[in-house]
DNA sequence: ACGCCCTTGCGCACACTGTGCGGAGCGCCG
DNA sequence: CGGCGCTCCGCACAGTGTGCGCAAGGGCGT
């Protein structure tokens, strides 16, 4: 610490180098950005106000002038994640399916870029009403409404799609978090866990067959993205069906 | 504390009432059950090992003989929640759609009975491989496979449905948690938040129309269950479509 | 029958958390 | 130039998960 400085000098100059009002030295944006870095680098457990403070060359409680709570801070960071997703230019009006698919894929990838978000969504919920989330909602509802759905139908469709994306991406992200915490490579982790999984599953015939089939190697990652796209298209098929049904 | 007892008596009798080996006095099941009670009653923030200990007339660290971690404890409680869902008797082989729907609805209701689960799923993931979760997976895959899907298709279908259920129920449960923490009634909370929501949304035309339409009252709860069932049927429609497509 | 060991529960302690409070430095307005 | 207010920070408090070592008995070897 700076203990020796305090002992050497008087209390007058102990921290003269603190550049008080040249610029506020701490801003909401900086805090949110630093929190995002910390979360991406070390995960949710490493985010403490003290660590965030030191990373900003500030005290532990200095952020409370700009942010009410740790919870509010987290809400802000979450919306920042949503902010990474660009809304499409409405000029290039493409197929509604590709438009919805684009948003969904971007959302998934944003979640996988910031896996800590899974551990946080259950506390913050989608209820935070941050501007970026609202923007995404507006776009998706817009795509569905111009496709021919009523406004209420469009909202339900959006809820269905986004629930699917959030649910699946959360599971994936949680898995990534566990993986990261274990410190092993993906292959190591799978190898280590596979026997236990096989044994846990052996009382269930279909799961056993499934796991056995998956044993004879296949690419885990590519299967995952296929699986995501497949489920998404399944939902879109369901939506398209009711669109056609309404048109007749 | 029991300080005066120690001062008054010798250290010999300070805790003679502890019934050492008459019965183990603490079991995994008891611990999990008590944790569930505590979680249901006071939510995730109230679950600490100390509180759990006092509730079991035990010390704070006495559970660590039966449970490795707090995390492991939470995994156990989560699987206990899945355990509340009964698997259907395979004898009465009904329509695959109603079978899947039954599981999905039960899952949703279990989540809403224990809203704290939302804040926990992102840390534990579905990756815990607890026996009850496996049982549910087996049933759902079974329903899909006997309906005519291949094993791999059945797994993907299950993933799609369960991701949807988990995602949506998590959002709802998170909302319930926020509501409970606020201490207000649902109506009070909505009334208090509505102006802010309207203002946040006013930059987005479609969301504004949507919220305005929802302002002229309708039953929030019934709309929610309708919305859930609607999205679920949408997914099932999509699945059924590929079943028919494969049959041709 | 007696003494030893080994399991099991628990008190203590440590490092760490979020955050309320009061004070201190600085810029700005009157 | 004096007072006000906004930021920033050190301190302190209550509370957390959990590692460590001790104590108390039941079960077993002799």
In the predicted structure, residue A135 carries a pLDDT above the cut 50: yes
Nearest CA in chain A to B158: A231
In the predicted structure, residue A121 carries a pLDDT above the cut 70: yes
Mean pLDDT of B57-80: 89
- CATH code of the domain occupying B17-67: 1.10.10.60
Give residue B11's pLDDT band: very low, low, confident or very high (50, 70, 90).
very low
Summary mean pLDDT of chain A: 85
For B231, which of A131, A159, A174 is closest by C-beta distance? A159
pLDDT value at residue B3: 34
A131 exposure class (CB count in 10 Å sphere: 0-12, 13-18, 19+): middle
Summary mean pLDDT of chain B: 84
Judged by average pLDDT, the poorest of A201-210, B19-28, B209-218 is B19-28
pLDDT value at residue A231: 97
Q: Do residues B231 and A156 make contact, with C-beta atoms less than 8 angstroms apart? A: yes
Give residue B17's pLDDT band: very low, low, confident or very high (50, 70, 90).
very low
The owner of tokens 């100059």 is A13
Judged by average pLDDT, the poorest of A9-18, B52-61, B207-216 is A9-18
Angle at A176 between CA A170 and CA A177, to 5 degrees: 90
The percent of residues in chain A predicted with pLDDT above 70, rounded, is: 84
In the predicted structure, residue B77 carries a pLDDT above the cut 90: yes
pLDDT in tens, B179-201: 888 788 888 888 888 888 898 99
pLDDT value at residue B222: 65
In the predicted structure, residue B16 carries a pLDDT above the cut 90: no
pLDDT value at residue B18: 42
In the predicted structure, residue A92 carries a pLDDT above the cut 80: no
pLDDT value at residue A184: 83
| CB contact residues (below 8 A), chain B span 26-85, against chain A | none
pLDDT value at residue A148: 94
Of the candidates B227, B238, B224, the one whose C-alpha atom is nearest the C-alpha of residue B100 is B238
Distances (CA, A) of B151 to A225, B144, B227: 18, 8, 29
* In chain B, beta strands by DSSP E: none
Q: B104: alpha, beta or left, given left = phi > 0 and alpha = psi -120 to 50?
A: alpha
pLDDT value at residue A17: 39
Q: Which residue ranges make up each domain of chain A?
A: 22-67, 86-183+218-247
The DSSP secondary structure of B5-16, one letter per residue, reads HHHHS-SSSSST
In the predicted structure, residue A208 carries a pLDDT above the cut 90: yes
pLDDT value at residue B33: 92
Question: Which class is B88-183+218-247 in CATH?
Answer: mainly alpha
pLDDT in tens, B121-146: 888 765 678 899 999 999 999 999 99
Contact B174 A242 (CB under 8 A): no
Nearest CA in chain B to A135: B204
Mean pLDDT of B99-113: 96
Give residue B20's pLDDT band: very low, low, confident or very high (50, 70, 90).
very low
Give residue B9's pLDDT band: very low, low, confident or very high (50, 70, 90).
very low
Q: Do residues A206 and B157 make contact, with C-beta atoms less than 8 angstroms apart? A: no
In the predicted structure, residue A1 carries a pLDDT above the cut 70: no
pLDDT value at residue A7: 32
SS (H, E, C) chain A: CCHHHHHHCCCCCCCCCCCCCCCCCCCHHHHHHHHHHHHHHHCHHHCCHHHHHHHCCCCCCHHHHCCCCHHHHHHHHHHHHHHCCCCCCCCCCCCHHHHHHHHHHHHHHHHHHCHHHHHHHHHHCHHHCCHHHHHHHHHHHHHHHHHCCCHHHHHHHHHHHHHHHHHHHHHHHHHHHHHHHHCCCHHHHHHHHHHHHHHHHCCCHHHHHHHHHHHCCCCHHHHHHHHHHHHHHHHHHHHHHHHHHHHC
Q: Which residues touch strand D (CB under 7 A)?
A: A 15, 18, 24-26, 53, 57-62, 64-66; B 11-12, 15-16, 18, 20-22, 47-51, 60-61, 64, 69-71
Residues in A touching B129 (Cβ below 8 Å)? 196-197, 200-201
For B151, which of A117, A209, A237 is closest by C-beta distance? A209
Mean pLDDT of A142-152: 94
pLDDT in tens, A161-182: 999 999 999 999 988 888 888 7
Topology (CATH level 3) of domain A22-67: Arc Repressor Mutant, subunit A (1.10.10)
Q: What is the ipTM of this complex?
A: 0.87
Instruction: Answer for B207: CB within 7 Å of strand C.
Output: no
CA distance linking residue B80 with residue B132, whole number of Å: 7
Q: Does A178 touch chain B (CB under 8 A)?
A: yes
Judged by average pLDDT, the poorest of A178-187, B71-80, B139-148 is A178-187
SS3 state at B184: coil
- CATH code of the domain occupying A86-183+218-247: 1.10.357.10
pLDDT value at residue B94: 83
């Amino acid at each position: 610490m700076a203990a020796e400085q305090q002992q050497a000098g008087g209390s007058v100059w102990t921290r003269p180098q603190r550049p008080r009002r040249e610029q506020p030295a701490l801003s909401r944006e900086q805090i949110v950005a630093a929190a995002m870095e910390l979360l991406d680098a070390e995960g949710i457990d490493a985010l403490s106000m003290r660590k965030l403070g030191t990373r900003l060359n500030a005290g532990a409680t200095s952020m409370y002038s700009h942010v009410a709570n740790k919870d509010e801070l987290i809400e802000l960071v979450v919306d920042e994640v949503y902010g990474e997703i660009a809304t499409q230019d409405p000029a290039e009006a493409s197929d509604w399916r590709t438009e919805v698919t684009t948003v969904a894929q971007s959302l998934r990838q944003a979640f996988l870029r910031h896996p800590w978000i899974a551990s946080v969504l259950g506390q913050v919920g989608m209820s935070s009403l941050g501007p970026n989330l609202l923007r995404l909602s507006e776009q998706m509802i817009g795509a569905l409404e111009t496709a021919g759905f009523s406004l209420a139908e469009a909202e339900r469709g959006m809820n269905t799609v986004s629930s699917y994306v959030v649910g699946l991406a959360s599971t994936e992200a949680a898995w990534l978090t566990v993986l990261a915490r274990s410190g092993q490579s993906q292959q190591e982790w799978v190898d280590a866990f596979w026997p236990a999984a096989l044994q846990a599953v052996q009382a269930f015939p279909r799961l056993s067959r499934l796991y056995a089939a998956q044993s004879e190697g296949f690419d885990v990652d590519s299967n995952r993205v296929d699986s995501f796209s497949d489920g998404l298209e399944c939902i879109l098929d369901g939506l398209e069906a009711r669109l056609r049904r309404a048109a007749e």
